[in-house]
Amino acid sequence: MTQYSKRMVIVHWLTLALLIAAWYLGDSLAEATDDGKATLAGYIVHISMGGTILLLTLSQLYFRRKDGRPPLLADTPMYQAVAKYVHYFLYTVLILLPVTGVTIILTSKVGAALLAGDAALLPKKFHGVFAHVVHEQLVTVLIVLTVLHVLGAIKHQFIMKDGLMSRMLLRKKD
């Protein structure tokens, strides 16, 4: 196997697109919350994206196990270990982010506002909501891991020139 399966590739890029959208919306939602202008729709869309990202992440783990993955390309053992753990940590953070998001809903006024359908009940700040602090820190960790992931791909593509990035592209018909 020289490439990832078609479904792995689709889920990978779809996850990236949704992560970018969820990050942008989450950042906008944080600003709106601080200004007291957050909307229920903003929360609902952000929550829906988080749930979808969780499902995509779990399906990616399933597909990875079911379809297999290409062998590691020749590199030093240290870089292979870094790549392995960056992937493990990426999957872990992609699972923990929605979990902390749900915890925010359950431990803040967001849940009550959503149940009541009343945006006036949305919190103006998240003081004392530990899950919110963890959620924000996990976003920072995700950004760092994503940068490491992209730098590794760039290293393989432009320095090692081993075609690693082509493994995450849709296959061409023979």
Q: Model confidence over 120-139: pLDDT tens digits?
A: 999 999 989 999 999 999 99
pLDDT digits (tens, 9 = 90+) for 105-116: 999 999 999 999
Dist. CA 41–CA 25, nearest whole Å: 11
Q: How far is CA 134 from the centre of its chain?
A: 15
Cα 131 to Cα 127: distance, rounded to the nearest angstrom: 11
Whole-number Cα distances in Å, 153 to 3, 5, 165:
14, 18, 6
pLDDT tens-digit readout, 58-81: 999 999 999 998 887 767 888 889
